Amino acid sequence: MDSFISFMEKRFLPIAAKVGNQRHLIAIRDAFVTTMPLMILGAFATLLNNLPIPAYTNFMNSLFSKTTGTGADKAYIWTKFGGNAWSGTFAILSVFIVFLVAYNLGKSYKINPLAAGVTSLASFFAVGGLAGMDSMGLFVALIVAMISTEMLRRLLGNKHLVIKMPDGVPPAVAQSFAALLLQ
């Protein structure tokens, strides 16, 4: 067993350290760590709504006897809390992740992290992110966040993309155009 541990420390640990220090993975990790309290809250609310104990369900139904909807859509009011908590956490998880991954990646590149996050969020919606705002759209959110931040990083400060205004343009307007791609 000691030879296996020695082998792992000698061969695997350096590779794992390099992978663990990769800026894209760190940005993803930090984004998920930031959203962890929301995910815990959403999971807890979902658990309370769907606890598979008949006595608990009967007690909650009798305590909060008011219902909404009719037929198959009939539900007890107390379950609305869990549904609303899910809507505010897991239903929009990809929106949080796309912004936070780009924000953290922007910080690591020392570019404006807020600009990176907003650009990534707008890009996510532009590629149809509304259809996958929940946890099913996480993969798309991660890809969009990384690609949009990388593109923004390469475009910012590119001297070939500067918009030069004629001399008669007021300085405030000229600075606004110059700030489009320079930081």
Question: Which residues are within 8 A (CB) of 107 and not within 5 positions of it... i.e. 6 or more apart?
Answer: 113
DSSP 11: I
Share of the chain residues as helix, strand and coil, in percent rounded to the nearest 5: 75, 0, 20
DSSP 74: -
CA geometry: angle at 170 spanning 169 and 171, to 5°? 115
pLDDT band (50, 70, 90) for residue 183: low
Residue 30 CB burial class (10 angstroms; 0-12, 13-18, ≥19): middle
| Model confidence pLDDT, tens digit, residues 142-164 | 999 999 999 999 888 777 777 77
Per-residue pLDDT, 164 = 74
User: Phi and psi of 22, rounded to 5°?
Assistant: -70, 130
Sign of CA dihedral 109, 115, 121, 125: negative
pTM value > 0.85:
no
Tokens matching residue 35: 């959203």
Task: Kindly tell me if the per-residue pLDDT of 182 is higher than 60.
Answer: no
Q: CA 10 from chain center: how many Å?
A: 36
The span from the CA of 127 to the CA of 26, in Å, is 24
Question: Which residues are within 8 A (CB) of 30 and not within 5 positions of it... i.e. 6 or more apart?
Answer: 100, 104
